A and B are shown apart, each in its own frame.
Chain A
Amino acid sequence: EVQLVESGGGLVKPGGSLRLSCAASGFTFSSYSMNWVRQAPGKGLEWVSSISSSSSYIYYADSVKGRFTISRDNAKNSLYLQMNSLRAEDTAVYYCAVADWLNWFDPWGQGTLVTVSS
């Protein structure tokens, strides 16, 4: 069974940093591209970033470009999102999701909540 478990969320002040992790199991992690998608409270889904299976290709939403960095460690079956210069508008549940490259996202983890507030 595929499992994706996000961690690292929490309360952080504006301008601060946070590193999210996504631990994957139940599939060959190194063969799949991965994504981060977020959802602000009461709002819709927003794609954040994608990374190919070998990390050769990386894409970011304009809203996070230059502040967030996606990475992965295939030896550890883990996906990461380094978030710097956080803003109030970054407050959201962050989901990691397996991807069919440049297509759909499936499955998704249960998400981790990031709250940016003073």
Chain B
Amino acid sequence: SYVLTQPPSVSVAPGKTARITCGGNNIGSKSVHWYQQKPGQAPVLVIYYDSDRPSGIPERFSGSNSGNTATLTISRVEAGDEADYYCQVWDSSSDHRGVFGGGTKLTVL
């Protein structure tokens, strides 16, 4: 089965840039989607199709995907960005299934 690997935690100072990686075998050939989840809340889609932003998501959020790594980049980080972030793909190699990364806790120092 397809596995997505994220770092458990990332820390960044306010105003700096945070980068959260998502590793997977040839993930560059798949479409990667990213979700933000704050404590006690449902996840919210922040990036789809590797780098597209849904309406209402700040331009500070961007994404890229190549080779074996996809990256969510948050520029000019704010305190309100502190949350868990999950990457997700669809694996259709053997059977259709959704796959989530283990999640990354973003801490704003």
B71 vs chain A, min Cβ distance (A): 17
- Selected contact of A103 from candidates B33, B41, B43, B97, CB within 8 Å: B33
A103 contacts B48, C-beta separation under 8 Å: yes
Task: Tell whether A107 is near chain B: CB-to-CB under 8 Å.
Answer: yes
Q: Is B95 close to A, CB under 8 A?
A: yes
A73 lies within 8 A of chain B by Cβ? no
Taking CB as reference atom, which chain A residue is nearest B37? Answer: A45
What residues on A are CB-neighbors of B102 within 8 Å?
Answer: 44
Q: Which residue of A lies closest to B31 (CB)?
A: A103
Beyond A45-B86, A45-B103, whether A102 also contacts B42 by CB under 8 A is: no
* Cβ–Cβ < 8 Å partners of B37 in chain A: 45
* Count of residues in A whose CB is under 8 Å from the partner chain: 23
Question: Within 8 Å CB of A115, what residues of B?
Answer: none
Looking at the assembled complex, report how far the CB atom of B50 sits from the nearest CB atom of chain A, in whole angstroms: 11
Chain B nearest CB, measured from A50 CB (Å): 7
CB distance from A34 to the nearest CB of B (A): 12
- Across the interface, do B86 and A59 meet the contact criterion of CB distance under 8 Å? no
**The residue from B1, B48, B103 contacting A104, defined by CB atoms under 8 A apart:** B48
Who on chain A is nearest to B1 by CB? A62
Determine whether the beta carbon of A59 is less than 8 Å from that of B43.
no
Q: Which residue of B lies closest to A44 (CB)?
A: B103
Q: Chain B nearest CB: distance from A106 CB in Å?
A: 4
**A77 contacts across to B, CB distance below 8 A:** none
Q: Are A37 and B98 in contact (CB under 8 A)?
A: yes
Closest to A93 in B: B42
Contact yes or no, B100 A45, CB < 8 A: yes
Please give the residue numbers on chain B whose beta carbons come within 8 Å of chain A beta carbons, in ascending order.
Answer: 1, 31, 33, 35, 37, 41-45, 48-49, 54, 84, 86, 88, 90, 92, 95-103
Add 4 more A-B contacts to A45-B86, A47-B97, A50-B96 (CB < 8 A). Answer: A102-B90, A103-B31, A108-B44, A110-B42
**8 chain-A/chain-B pairs, Cβ below 8 angstroms:** A35-B98, A37-B100, A46-B100, A47-B99, A95-B42, A102-B90, A103-B31, A107-B44
The 7 closest A-B pairs by CB, nearest first: A47-B98, A106-B45, A104-B33, A108-B42, A44-B103, A45-B100, A104-B48
